[in-house]
Amino acid sequence: METKTKTAFLYDERYFWHDTGSSVLFFPPGEFLQPDGTAESPESKRRVKNLLEMSSYIKHLEIMHPRAATKEEVGAFHTTAYIERIKTMSDNGGGDAGGYTPFGRGSYEIAMLSAGGAITAVDAVMRGEVTNAYVLTRPPGHHAEADSGAGYCIFNNVAVASHYARKQYGITRIMILDWDVHHGNGTEDAFYSDPNTLFISLHQENNFPNDRGYAEHIGEGAGKGYTVNVPLPVGTSNAGYLYAFDRVVLPIAEQFKPELILISAGQDPNCYDPLARMMVTADCFGEMMKRIKQLAERHCDGRVVACHEGGYSTAYVPFCTLRVIEALRGIESGIEDPFWAITLKNMPRINQLLPHQEEQIEQVAKVQSAYWKLT
């Protein structure tokens, strides 16, 4: 049944031309490491667009094209020296932004366009042109610090968009939810002392970066309690993620009452991801977004902007992302998850909350109960 929701889908062909060179997963080629494409290749992103087109689901979406962010907009979070360093390296053939974030010639302009995609979506949502939006941002952003890149991220798209939304539209309360399997360290640092930004990260514990994303990392100063880290054990499946949503994420968000919700949508907690060890299926990504959409409808007129982050299974990420977009739009595609019937449904714990997973989520609730009502 048709809904009144209007969902924007933003992408640019140049996103897929961002060159990350060759590597072995995330290591540079070496004596015994035969060169391969990087894990952060364009294919898992390009195939999202391809699936939308081949299924004709794209007809349900408002297609928008991003503008490039300005230096001033990106500079609301990143230092001028860092921005200029990236531009210089890009103009001279490429380099590494830091924390193994390789890029080639022209990636500065593409990274500015990626940050601009998040800004374009914020404009469309805040002006009421659409209800919500999905941006196929590349390069991703949530690991990027103010003066350094990391984990394939050059500019922090969500952090830049958050600063823009606050300046341009006078928003007081912004919620950033990061369900990428890796901790969103750059975004956390951007708002660690900010009581007007609620940052929640669900991630695989002790994956990347090192020593980040512990439950005890709750913010500082006036921002104490406004950073919520939910580190999840290896092997956490649909049941664990949804329990974390219902036990921690949603109760805190309901009390915060966001005026805008930004999502770092990394579909790398999926069962087939080469850089993670989690067991989330496509349908669970859809369920998480359905919960967020309902939250947004209660508090901020449905305003949600999701920006693509990680997700390195070129086969499965498109189906996971399709479910996210379906939930935003409120219309099902009718496309079945082809991997469910063959293998996933036979995994005995795919929809089972294990005791140690529940215990770890309860520990997060205990830490956060000093700042929020979690009964």
Residues labelled catalytic = 143
Cα-based torsion angle of the residue sequence 267, 12, 143, 318 in order, rounded to the nearest 10 degrees? 10
Give the CA distances from residue 181 to residues 172, 202, 235, 297, in Å, rounded to whole numbers and listed in that order. 28, 7, 12, 26
**Which of 292, 247, 288 lies closest to 269 in space, CA to CA?**
288
Q: Please spell the DSSP secondary structure of 227-272, one letter per residue.
A: EEEEEE-TT-BHHHHHHHIIIIIHHHHHHH--SEEEEEE--TTBTT
Query: One-letter amino acid identity for 352?
Result: Q
- Please, are residues 220 and 193 in contact by the beta-carbon 8 Å criterion? yes
How far apart CA 141 and CA 307 sit, in angstroms, is 9
How would you classify the pairing of strands 94-96 and 132-135?
unpaired
Specify the residue for token string 């968009």.
161
The DSSP H or E segment spanning 8 is strand 7-10
- Please, are residues 251 and 372 in contact by the beta-carbon 8 Å criterion? yes
Residue 84's contacts (CB-CB under 8 Å, 6 or more residues apart) are: none
